Amino acid sequence: MILRSLGENPSAIDSAGYSVYAQRYSYVIIGSILMAISGACITLSYTNFWNEGMTGGKGWIAYALVGFSGWNPAKAALGALLFGGISILGMNLQVYLTGIPSQFYGMLPYLATIIALVLTTGNFRKKHTAEPAALCQPFDRENR
């Protein structure tokens, strides 16, 4: 609840006696730690070494996942499973369908991301996203 109210109304957190600045910094640090762990997981699960460009744009898929999910954690988890499943499906299809170039299978998660973004965030669908009200808003204790 603290994190949600920090994004919606930082003044409420300040009124409750929490430091808005300390909370924001602590959540950024926690997020950075999780990103470092995921980067280590990528290097250890795909190969036993690090090489340049090994993430292959997967960070952009994660960024697009936020728009796809509309800031809903359940939809984000389902979307991550969908995009990850498509990536694994492409790897497995290379064994059975050898006549298709491997670059096509590598393209599948990105193609799925573009299709999902067009279908969920296009101009033809006017919907409200649950974007935090105080997103990118500096907090000034004196000007509430």
Phi first, then psi, for residue 103 (nearest 5°) are: -65, -30
CB 66 within 8 A of CB 80: no
Same domain, 41 and 12: yes
- Check if the beta carbon of residue 15 is closer than 8 Å to that of residue 6: no
- Angle at CA of residue 107, ends 62 and 64, nearest 5°: 20
Same domain? 73 vs 15: no
**Is 15 contained in some domain?**
yes
Number of domains in the chain: 2
Which position has the token pair 């995921």?
A: 38
Mean pLDDT for the stretch of residues 110-135: 74
Check if the beta carbon of residue 54 is closer than 8 Å to that of residue 42: yes
Looking at the predicted structure, is the pLDDT value of residue 127 above 60? no
Three-state SS at 28: helix
* Same domain flag for 112 and 60: yes
* pTM of model > 0.85: no
Structural domain contains residue 104: yes
Q: Which one is predicted more confidently, 28 or 129?
A: 28
Does residue 139 fall inside a structural domain? no
pLDDT value of residue 33? 96
**Structural domain of residue 5, as residue ranges?**
1-54
Burial 5-35 (b: 16+ CB within 10 A, else e): bbbeebbebbeeeeebeebbeeeeeeeeeee
Same domain, yes or no, for 60 and 124?
Answer: yes
- In the predicted model, is pLDDT for residue 125 greater than 60? no
Q: For the segment 63-74, what is each residue's pLDDT rounded down to a tens digit?
A: 888 877 877 888
